[in-house]
Structure 1
Amino acid sequence: MTGALRAAPPAGPLRAGTPRDRLLRAATELFCRHGIHAVGVDAVVAAAGTAKATLYKLFGSKERLVETVLEQEGRAWRDWFLGGLEAGEAPARERLERIFPLLGTWFRDERFYGCPFINAVGEHDKRDDRIRALTLAHKRQVIARLRDLLAEAGARDPDSLVHEVGLLIDGAIVTALVTRDPEVGRVGARALASLLDGALPARERRAAAV
C-alpha cells in the first residue's frame, strides 16, 4: 500500500525554489506521470531548468534521485492520509471508515497517477531489493498505524485483519489507476464495512450503524 500517489499538485511552478527543490518537483511529476524508465536525466534537468552537472552533484545518480523522490512522496502521502484519518476526535471505527472517502478524493484528482511505490516495483527488475525495501518501509508505517486503529476498535486479531485492509487499499489504488473510475472508492468502502462488521465487537457494529 503506498503512496504518494499524488495527493496534491506540486507546490508552485517546477522552476521555483532551490535547484534541489526544482529537480525533485520535476522528477516527481515526470516519474509519476510517465514512468521512471521512460524519463531520462535530460528531461528532468530541462523541466527543472538546471544543468545536468547540478543533478549529479546533488544526487550522485538517477538511481539516488529516484530513491529520494520515493522517500519524499512516501512522507507526503503518509502525512496526508494518516493525518486525514486522525483529524479531530472520533471513535476508532469512524476513523477507519475515513479510509476510502480519502482515497476517493485522491482518485478524483487529475494528478492521480497511482502509487509511485507500486509503479516503481512494477518497472524494476523483480529481484531488485533496493526499490522493494523502500516500498516495504513505507508500507510498514501505514500498516502499523492501521493496526493500532483496528486494535483500538476492538478487533479480535488486528495483526491479521490489517493485512486484509491493506489488500483492499492496494487493490482499490490499482483498480482506480487502470479504470480511471473514482467510484472504486465507494466499492472499497462497502467492502471495508463488511470486513469490519465481521471482525469488530457487536457494540462497535451498532455504534457504526447509528
Structure 2
Amino acid sequence: MADTQFATVTGVPQHRGAARERLLLAASDLFCRYGINATGVDSIVAAAGTAKTTLYKAFGSKEGLIEAVLQHEGSSWREWFSDQIDAFDGTPAEKLLHVFDVLKIWFQEDSFYGCPFINAVGEHDKQDDRIRLLTIQHKTIFLDKITSLTADVRPDDPESLTHELALLIDGAIVAALVTKDVTVADHARNAAKRLLV
C-alpha cells in the first residue's frame, strides 16, 4: 500500500522502477480510478513513461495487461490483508470480527475504488470467463484464509460460515464504493457478530 508515485504529466501519475513494473502500477491506478474500458493504452504508457511497443512486448495486449494487473493487485492485497489479520492478537472469532476493522482501514484510503476484481467482472463481457476465473482464484485464496478461522468457530459447518461472512465482506466493499461511507464496515461487523453468537 506504499505510494510509488513521484510526478505527474498532465495530471497522470508516473511511477519509478523497471518498465514492466511501471506499466503494472500505472494500469492499476488508472483501471481502479477510471475503469478498464475507459482507460486506453495511450494513457497507460503515458503514466508509465514507456512506449506502446514496451506494453505489447511485456503483456501481449491490453487484455494481457488487465490479467497481470489483477494478479498483481490480488497478491498485494491478500498479503496486506493476511498480515493485518495475523498481527491481531485475539481468538478466531475476534479475528473474524477484526476482518471488518481491516476493511474499514482500506475504505479510508484515498486510493480505495472498490475491489478491482468485482469492478473488472462488472465491466467485462459476461460470456467471457477469463476475468471471472481470475476472480474465483482470488476469492478462493481469500476464503481459505477466512475458513482457517471459521473452522475453530463453527467446526460442524465452517464452509457455510465462511460464505455468510464473504457475503457481508463483498456487500461492505460495494456499499463503501457506492456510498463513500466507511461506516458500512461497522454495520457489516455488527451483522457478522450476530452470526458468530
Contact (CA 8 Å) 2:147, 2:162: kept in 1 or not?
A: yes
What percentage of aligned pairs have identical amino acids? 53
Partner of 1:18: 18
Contact (CA 8 Å) 1:70, 1:117: kept in 2 or not?
A: yes
For the pair 1:49 / 2:33, whether they are aligned, the reply is: no
Kindly provide the CA deviation profile for residues 47-83 of structure 1, in whole angstroms up to 9, marking residues without a partner as x: 1111111111111110000000000000011011122
**Secondary structure in structure 2 of the residue aligned to 1:98:** helix
Q: CA deviation at 1:159?
A: 1.1
Partner of 1:143: 143
Partner of 2:132: 132
Runs of 4+ in 1 over 3 A off after TM superposition: none
Q: CA deviation at 1:15?
A: 3.0
TM-score normalised by the chain length of structure 2: 0.93
Unaligned 5+ runs, structure 2: 7-13
Contact (CA 8 Å) 1:101, 1:186: kept in 2 or not?
A: yes
TM-score normalised by the chain length of structure 1: 0.87
Larger relative CO (CA 8 A, sep 6+): 1 or 2? 1
In 2, Cα distance between equivalents of 1:10 and 1:125: 32
In 2, Cα distance between equivalents of 1:69 and 1:169: 22
Contact (CA 8 Å) 2:101, 2:186: kept in 1 or not?
A: yes
The AA in structure 2 aligned to 1:103 is L
Q: 1:188 to 1:157 in 2, by over 3 A?
A: same
Contact (CA 8 Å) 1:10, 1:25: kept in 2 or not?
A: no
Partner of 1:73: 73
For the pair 1:93 / 2:86, whether they are aligned, the reply is: no
Q: CA deviation at 1:10?
A: 3.9
**Secondary structure in structure 2 of the residue aligned to 1:39:** coil
Contact (CA 8 Å) 1:33, 1:113: kept in 2 or not?
A: yes
Unaligned 5+ runs, structure 1: 1-7, 198-210
Contact (CA 8 Å) 1:59, 1:65: kept in 2 or not?
A: yes
After TM superposition, list the pairs within 5 Å mapping 1:1-210 onto structure 2. 8-13=1-6, 14-197=14-197
How many pairs were matched up? 190
